[in-house]
A and B are shown apart, each in its own frame.
Chain A
Amino acid sequence: MLNDLTDAERKALAQCRHAVLGTDRPLRLDCGVDLGPYRVAYQTYGELNAEKSNAVLICHALTGDQFVADRNPITGKPGWWESIVGPGKILDPARYFIICSNVLGGCLGTTGPLDTDPRAGQPWNLRFPVVTIGDMVRAQAALIDHLGIPDLFCVIGGSMGGMQVLEWAASYPKRVFSAVPIACAARHSAQNIAFHEVGRQAIMADPDWKGGDYRLHQTTPSRGLAVARMTAHITYLSEQALQRKFGRALQDRNALGFGFDADFQVESYLRYQGSTFVDRFDANSYLYITRAMDYFDLAGAHGGVLANAFRGTATRFCLMSFTSDWLFPTRESRAVVHALNAVAANVSFVEVDSDKGHDAFLLDEPEMFRTLSGFLKGAAAVRGLGSVS
């Protein structure tokens, strides 16, 4: 299984907690394929209490990972949500048992296209079945079963993580006491799909991609993956933030170069974003996970009526969006709120005023922190969770 990994990846996986699931009963994927056994890599923080009532599942975004609050072994960077998770933070391991797993199709230890197909004895690559947000959530549910947790106090995530939160609430309403989908939507829009398609085409147009078999040829489609990341990165920032940060400032020069080097700082910044991304992410994984997001349509899966996805739900919801997020704008969250109102669900919705665009959910946003803290406090009181001792 671990045959064709780089040293860095090997090291990462060695450090990674994981469960091998689906040995007895494979995972039936939405595409009809039975997958099993499969690995789910995950991190946990804190302890499960005696009542098993304090478990929190964090769902990561497209290029996120399970290292929420500890150093990513590949990049060496701090956890991606240390502003929220950690001692004295809103999600405090002294109070909650916090779980985050790498998504199905991912490249940080959970089964995905870079693993070996046990039947064929060779890497899956593009022969890996196309997975959906629903499949990712079913794999997470299997992990939660494996950990002996009957139901989750909270499922929380932003962007694609928010999609998983919505899927959890729709598929396992009795196992989700509270749900916090942030900066997301109940379906991918045409524009969302369009941007992803540009990224995928960039990867597939790279001659080093080799039809997905680049490991076999000992190449890496770095240029394609970098362009995909550059395109996506623009969608994560607001126009104001980009303008404020870079404007038309020049990079290491006083005048235009009359060539195609990175004259502008914004070009240099994007090139840097692209080049660092290829060191930590697998190109085929990127194809699969973007596809999963494109396929997500919660209303479509429930007869075209989003409210049907939540009928009878007792879950407490808290949605958040950001004013300058044009990738998952506020109206997408509002559509979910309308659907939840239509079934008289317990729902809070806050639009946070921020000029940081879609990425705001990963950044220092005091209003988001206040909202999350208040919502969890209220939910914990109803759940009967004691305060931190």
Chain B
Amino acid sequence: MAAPIRVDLQHIADMVEPGTRALDVGCGDGALLAYLMNFKRVDARGMELSQAGVNACVANGLSVIQGDADADLRDYPDAAFDYVILSQTLQATREPRKVLEQMLRVGKHAIVSFPNFAHWQVRLRLVFGGRMPETTSLPYKWYDTPNIHLCSIDDFRALCRTMGVRIERSIVLNNASRRINLPPLLANLIGEQAVFMLRRD
């Protein structure tokens, strides 16, 4: 049970206070859920699109249902959770803004991580390569990518401003998922992904 989790998930886990209630939307194989339950005594629930993923999670004793961020968050009551987590999934939702609104309604805090589309490698490949970017965090061909709403770190900050959402914490990760501390302009160039913790104002 002490297996380490992916570094980007660890950054998310570190934002969650022990003994709270959390919903992980798009929980995949349940690695973050299991970590939160076992190491932080979190009442952790999951939602996952793939039925195979759900079945594997439940077989491992995790509380997971089949569902997706766009359609199924609206079932939950207001402030049902302390945290609603969406890791590496926002860019694959049909209506990212509405998903964020739902997350902030259902959770007291929303934790979101996403790949930065303004990363220098992405820029180089598009500007000089003339091809759709493929990087470690964006490994798909343009024709089979699930990522339909990619954004940059600055785009995301702008959306938060538009929505009047308070950014409680934000961290930017480099290619090795290590945290980097840079001024915003550079962070938007060097950061490969970002993790934001938000709350309604």
Interface residues of A (CB under 8 A from B): 316, 318, 337-338, 341-344, 346-353, 367, 370-371, 373-375, 377-379, 381
Contact = CB atoms under 8 A, between A and B. Distances in A.
Contacts of B55: 350, 352, 367, 370-371
B59 A346 contact: no
A348 B63 contact: yes
Q: Which of B54, B72, B75 has the most CB of A within 10 A?
A: B75
Contacts of A348: 54, 57-58, 62-65
Contacts of B142: none
Q: Which of A341, A353, A378 has the most CB of B within 10 A?
A: A341
Given A341-B75, A379-B61, 4 more contacts: A349-B65, A352-B55, A353-B51, A374-B59
A351 to B, nearest CB: 6
B199 interface: no
Contacts of B45: 346-347
Interface in B24-67: 43, 45, 51, 54-55, 57-66
12 contacts: A341-B72, A342-B77, A346-B45, A347-B45, A348-B54, A348-B57, A349-B54, A351-B66, A353-B51, A374-B61, A378-B63, A379-B61
Nearest to B51: A351
Contacts of A342: 75-77
Q: Which of A350, A351, A379 has the most CB of B within 10 A?
A: A350
Which 9 residue pairs spanning A and B have beta carbons closest together? A378-B61, A344-B80, A374-B59, A341-B75, A370-B59, A349-B65, A348-B58, A374-B61, A377-B61
A373 B75 contact: no
B65 A341 contact: yes
B196 interface: no
A90 to B, nearest CB: 12
Interface of B: 21, 43, 45, 51, 54-55, 57-66, 72, 75-77, 80-81
A373 B60 CA distance: 9
Contacts of A378: 60-63
B50 to A, nearest CB: 11
B66 A349 contact: yes
Contacts of A352: 55
Contacts of B60: 374, 378
A341 B61 contact: no
A370 B66 CA distance: 17
Given A342-B76, A344-B77, A316 B63 contact: yes
B144 to A, nearest CB: 24
A367 B55 CA distance: 8
Nearest to A317: B63
A312 B22 CA distance: 17
Contacts of B54: 348-350
Contacts of A370: 55, 59
A316 B63 CA distance: 8
Q: Which of B58, B60, B62 has the most CB of A within 10 A?
A: B58
A21 B76 CA distance: 41
B77 A375 contact: no
A344 B76 contact: yes
Nearest to B106: A344
A341 B59 contact: no
A343 B77 contact: yes
B43 to A, nearest CB: 7
B80 A337 contact: no
A325 to B, nearest CB: 15
B106 to A, nearest CB: 8
Given A316-B63, A344-B81, A350 B58 contact: yes
Nearest to B60: A374
B61 A375 contact: yes
A18 B131 CA distance: 76
B103 to A, nearest CB: 14
A344 B80 CA distance: 6
Contacts of B62: 348, 374, 378
Contact of A346 (B43, B72, B77): B43
Contacts of A373: 59
Contacts of A377: 61
A235 to B, nearest CB: 24
Contacts of B72: 341
A385 to B, nearest CB: 13
Given A348-B64, A349-B65, A351-B66, A375 B58 contact: yes
A374 B62 CA distance: 8
Contacts of B65: 337, 341, 347-349
